[in-house]
Amino acid sequence: MNESGIRQLVTFKIEEDEFGVDILKVQEINRMMNITRIPNAPDFVEGVINLRGKIIPIVDLRKKLGFPGKEYDKSTRIIVVELEGIVLGFIVDSVSEVLRIPNSTIEPPPSIIKGIESEFIEGVGKLEDRLLILLELKKVFTIQEHRSLEDLNMN
């Protein structure tokens, strides 16, 4: 969030829903690449990729947010983000654009949006003709993940 109250977001799509994440968190956007599956990993972990010599986990955002699975295609992208020192990528249907929206258009999340848990949502941006769901990446990828990993260890 900068002083003038303008936020810069990278927006992407899953199904018909449009999402936004803070551009400062985004390291790069890649086309789909070869993913090595990890056995016994949580369901939403798609596997790992080789990003210029570094091994990076890839999460299927569709699974994470409760959307049905979908074949990857030409427009499938991997968004690589850095969250508190951990670099990871997540798969989205397509990346749309970089958007600047004033903070004033962002409203707190309604209790539920199409089944997506509201704790993952930071707010909803109202644009002229559409809604933009702002994802709280930290929550999407940390708290839940730790719980799932613990579950995994328990099993």
Partner 1 sequence: MSNQSLEHEEMKEIIDEFIVESSEFIENATQDIVSMEAEQDDEIINSIFRAVHTIKGTSSFLGFSVLSNLAHKAEDLLGLVRKKELDMSKEIADALLESMDTMKLLIEDIKTDYTEKQETEQLIHKLEMLANPDRKPLGEILVEEKIITKKELDKVLEKQKQENKKIGEIVLEEKLITDKQLENLLNKQKTKKEDQTIRIDVKKLDEMMNLVGELVLGKNRLNMVKNMAKRDISKSSVVDNLDEVTNYIEVITNELQLSIMKARLVPLSKLFNKVPRLVRDLCNSFNKEVELKITGEETELDRTLIESLHDPLIHIIRNSVDHGIETKEERAKKGKPEKGTLSINAYNEGNNVVIDIFDDGKGIDIDGLKKKVIEKGLMSEHEINDMTEKEIMNLIFIPGLSTAKRISSVSGRGVGMDVVKTNIEKMNGQVYVDSMKNQWTKISIRLPLTLAIMGALIVEIGPELYAIPLNNVIELVKLNREYIKMVDKNEVLMLRKEIVPILDVARIMSLPDSGKEKYIVICKIGDKTLGIKVNTVVGQEEIVIKSLGEFMGNIKGIGGASIRGDGKVILILDIPAMISDRYMEKINKRREETLEYKYAV
Footprint of partner 1 (CB under 8 A): 34, 36-41, 45, 47-50, 53-57, 85-88, 141, 145, 149, 152-153
Smallest separation (angstroms) from partner 1 to the CB of 36: 4
Smallest separation (angstroms) from partner 1 to the CB of 136: 17
Cβ proximity to partner 1, 34 vs 111, nearer residue: 34
Cβ proximity to partner 1, 35 vs 133, nearer residue: 35
Using alpha carbons, list the distances in angstroms from residue 134 to 23, 32, 72, 131.
Answer: 11, 23, 23, 10
CA angle 125, 126, 132 (to 5 degrees): 50
Smallest separation (angstroms) from partner 1 to the CB of 83: 9
SS3 81: strand
Cβ proximity to partner 1, 39 vs 108, nearer residue: 39
- What is the Cα–Cα distance from 76 to 69, expressed in whole angstroms? 13
Cβ proximity to partner 1, 57 vs 125, nearer residue: 57
Smallest separation (angstroms) from partner 1 to the CB of 53: 6
> CB–CB of 76/58 below 8 Å?
no
End-to-end CA distance of the chain: 41
